[in-house]
Amino acid sequence: MSLTLADDERYCFTVEWYEEMAARVRQFQFFYFVKAQSIEMYDIKNRKMFLRTSVKENNISPADLYLGNSINVCGRLLNIVDYGDDYTRRKLSAKKERTLGMIKPDAVDKLGQILDKICQKGFLISRLRMCRMNRNQALSFYQEHQSKPFLNALLDYVTSGPVVTFEIVGENAVGAWREAIGPTDPSAARKTAPTSIRAQYGQDVTFNAVHGSSDPGAAAREIEFFFPSSGPVPPNTARVGNCTCCIIKPSAVKAGMAGKIISAITEAGFQVGATQMFTLEKANAEEFLEVYKGVVHEYSAMVVELTSGPCLVLEICAPEGSPPVAPAFRELAGPTDPEIARHLRPRTLRALFGSDKIKNAIHCTDLPDDGQLEVEYFFRILDR
Ligand code: AMP
């Protein structure tokens, strides 16, 4: 195998792939060659080269290479489970620090703007979930503040509505995210860090819009609280009433458009009832898109796009007493083909954010009756 290329800069990971046909998990050494812009996978059990492909063909960048991420290589969803060698561990572990961010209840209606700001500041969100904490959960999350005089006010606040929690991965993520959110008190932030998130979206020292872990130890505990590998989590907020489903597709998430798309959706008067980041297995994408199989010839390409990285799924709702939300949201989504949309309906989401028929920024439910079913598929079935 190409360990002969060892002089070249290359990263090595252990990845796992669930092979459907054989119903088994296979382990590989995964090599990413920076100069050659190529990828190789070496089958650990059978001790032989498994595949060689180009980085470009698979739309993978070094930013995607962190533990816990799932990447799609030649149609296979690979989970990155460990570093493959000391060199990679040494080079990347500091660059791939993790922290927990949270948008608190009073700022959740600014979700689009805040996500856009997070993206503009160059942070990578690897997991995200809108949920609602009860008092016990909030107390457990804020255990270090148990004896503080502001504890009750803090618990009232963070349980007063949904929060959006997310994991950020990147170099010095804990410190960089603390710096981006600014001082605890937004009025102090407005003086000393006017471009910080608390300066722009916080009201006062209690209602301060966002949270960031204080140190790497707290980050690990808080990430485990909201994104445990097993066990209960605060429930998602899907209402599954008058709703429809919108998926910000992996290519749009990767291009950093999620915040802008959400802002366009809320500015048009729709509400985000729930949102969560999912990385879909091929089988799930096929199941979800089954109605298009044999109907549109882009079906296979649609499956590939939907499994090509994390997507952001939204439950779109309308205020109480509104007409059915699905047809109205389809109007905002616009024609499937962004080229056509740009000619006929230039203010629609696909006209504004899509690039082609497959990478057309969003999926939205086609048939009004399917809105609830699609929302249920993600928020009642796939959400752990
Ligand atoms: P921290 O973990 O440092 O972000 O603190 C937790 C949260 O408690 C802060 O983000 C505020 O919402 C709240 N908090 C901190 N200090 C005070 C305070 N002096 N008065 C009221 N609330 C506070």
Residue pLDDT, tens place only, 130-160: 999 999 999 999 999 999 999 999 999 999 9
Does the pLDDT value for residue 281 go beyond 90? Answer: no
Band (pLDDT 50/70/90 cuts) for residue 360 is: very high
- Any known ligand binding at 104? yes
pLDDT at position 303: 93
Angle at the Cα of 249 (from 247 to 251), degrees rounded to 5? Answer: 165
Does the pLDDT value for residue 16 go beyond 50? Answer: yes
| pLDDT digit string, tens, across residues 287-312 | 999 999 989 999 999 999 999 889 99
Mean pLDDT value of segment 319-325: 86
Distance from chain centroid for Cα 103: 14
Q: Is the pTM of this model over 0.85?
A: yes
- Any known ligand binding at 148? no
Centre of ligand 1 to C-alpha 131, Å, is 20
* Residue count (the chain): 384
Closest residue to atom 8 of ligand 1, CA basis: 154
pLDDT, mean over the chain: 93
In terms of Cβ atoms closer than 10 Å to its own Cβ (0-12, 13-18, 19+), residue 269 is exposed
Examine the residue annotation and report whether 297 is marked as an active-site residue of this protein.
no
Does the pLDDT value for residue 1 go beyond 70? Answer: no
Relative to the CA of 157, which ligand 1 atom is closest?
Answer: 12
Among 143, 205, 207, name the best residue to mutate to test ligand 1's pocket (greatest count of ligand atoms within 8 A of Cβ): 205
How many percent of the chain have pLDDT more than 90? 79
Q: Are 139 and 156 in contact (CB under 8 A)?
A: no
Angle at the Cα of 190 (from 187 to 194), degrees rounded to 5? Answer: 160
Is the CB of 205 inside a 6 Å radius of any atom of ligand 1?
yes
- Domains and their CATH numbers in the chain: 10-89 (2.30.29.170), 95-226 (3.30.70.141), 243-382 (3.30.70.141)
Closest residue to atom 3 of ligand 1, CA basis: 184
pLDDT at position 8: 63
Whole-angstrom distance, CA of residue 309 vs CA of residue 326: 26
Whole-angstrom distance, CA of residue 308 vs CA of residue 251: 8
Provide the residue type at 270 as one letter: F
Angle at the Cα of 379 (from 375 to 381), degrees rounded to 5? Answer: 100
Band (pLDDT 50/70/90 cuts) for residue 2 is: very low
Centre of ligand 1 to C-alpha 231, Å, is 28
